[in-house]
Amino acid sequence: MTTMKVFSRVAHTTVAMIASAALLVGLGACSATRSGSAGGSSSGAMEKGATIGISMPTKSMERWNKDGKNLRTKLEKAGYKVILSYADDKPSQQNADIENMVNNNAKIIVVAAKDGTSVGPAVEKAHEAGAKVIAYDRLIMNTEAVDYYATFQLEQVGVLQAKYIIDKLGLEKGAKGPFNMEVFTGSPDDNNAKFFFKGAWELLQPYFKSGVLKSISNHGGGVDGNFTLDKWQSISVMSWKTAQTQTDMESILDSSYAHGEKLDAVLTPNDDLAQGVINAIQTKRPDMKPGTDSWPVITGQDANEIAVANISQDLQSMTVFKDVAKLADAVYEMVVQLAEGKDVSGLNGSMNNGVVDVKSKLLDPLTLEKSNLTEVVKANFITQERFDELTKQQ
């Protein structure tokens, strides 16, 4: 009987100790969550000079070099330690870069994804380590491990390109054509490329259905009024490569425009693809002359230096200017607010990544053509001296 009482007291004491320990662990976990394991104080603020990671997809495109430089410069001036990496167009390299940032105690990681889906496991590890994740320009897909997103109004980019073509061909004024037009989309592993095309195709498709616009090539299996958004990858260019676009366009010209057929417009979603189209036309159809009706309307995006030069020489018709300095400003403000334990302000939308609606800051793009090309100088995107060099007539 005595033995049983002793055992009962021991058991009761043991249970009480276990319960107390569990409660302490639970309280500790709640405390870590509330204070934010990526921060320091109970407000979630981070220590002075915290490490910020910036993961860019490639150095091979002019704009990503500007994006990375702009953001790093602003953060370093504010006293943060910055790790800036470029993934050489390789998802595996970007994942390794992000893991390296986590290992170096990065508190916030900004990711412009090479492949919005492939980078998911790396940002999930970052989240597990307590870091905040900001998707930069390209949304990270199919994961909850994205805190914020900053980009431009993606569909609006395509809308501006399509409106330009519609205006230059006089379609809204009743021009019946038919007009020959070829269509390209961006890299199939870039989630933004679909949105660019969606914005453009919603405006252009009715003209293809009516026969006012037509593609006489069989590019991507053929583009006509029945072409649907879910087929966009069939006319895409991997990694936005100029050389591949030139090869594809030369094939189109050889197969469908080799006997003097008129090419009226080409929808190219960025300046790299536009350059490929220009190269192909100059190679295969030297009878087409820039600045005359024989030269097609060619669209673009990013206001790359080569596009500024091309527009000034009537080789490229327009580009959609996304002032990446403003994007860097927006993300810089996000980072500082997070680092100081404040709520992120200025959010004006959300984008669904297949799992969650990611709170977003969406900026407005601008159409640039020959008449307003100096906007790149006004925005300090290109210096006046460099602009003069680029636009000097050959």
Query: Which residues are bridge partners to 357 per DSSP?
Result: 352
pTM of the model: 0.83
Q: What are the domain boundaries of the chain?
A: 51-146+323-363, 154-322+368-391
- Look at residue 29 in the predicted model and tell me its pLDDT: 34
Written as one letter, the residue type at 250 is E
CA atoms within 13 A on the CB side of 176: 0
CA proximity to 381, closest of 330, 332, 334, 322: 322
- The torsion region of residue 105 among left (phi > 0), alpha (psi -120 to 50) and beta comes to left
257 or 46, greater pLDDT? 257
Mean pLDDT of the chain: 89
Helix axes 384-391, 305-312, angle to 10 degrees: 50
In CATH terms, the superfamily for domain 51-146+323-363 is: Response regulator (3.40.50.2300)
**pLDDT exceeds cutoff 50 at 7:** no
Compute the distance between CA of residue 5 and CA of residue 10 in angstroms, rounded to an integer. 9
- The torsion region of residue 54 among left (phi > 0), alpha (psi -120 to 50) and beta comes to beta
CATH architecture label of 154-322+368-391: 3-Layer(aba) Sandwich (3.40)
Residue-wise pLDDT for 210-248, tens only, equals 999 999 999 999 999 999 999 999 999 999 999 999 999
51-146+323-363 and 154-322+368-391: identical CATH topology: yes
Is 219:277 a contact under the CB 8 Å cutoff? no
* Exposure class string for 65-90: b at 16+ Cβ within 10 A, else e: ebbbebbbebbeeeebebbbbbbebe
Compute the distance between CA of residue 185 and CA of residue 187 in angstroms, rounded to an integer. 7
Q: Residue 224 CB: number of other CB atoms within 10 A?
A: 12
* Exposure class string for 5-23: b at 16+ Cβ within 10 A, else e: eeeeeeeeeeeeeeeeeee
**pLDDT exceeds cutoff 50 at 73:** yes
Cβ burial of 292 (10 Å; 0-12, 13-18, 19+) is exposed
Is 148:360 a contact under the CB 8 Å cutoff? yes
Residue-wise pLDDT for 88-139, tens only, equals 999 999 999 999 999 999 999 999 999 999 999 999 999 999 999 999 999 9
Residue-wise pLDDT for 335-377, tens only, equals 999 999 999 999 999 999 999 999 999 999 999 999 999 999 9
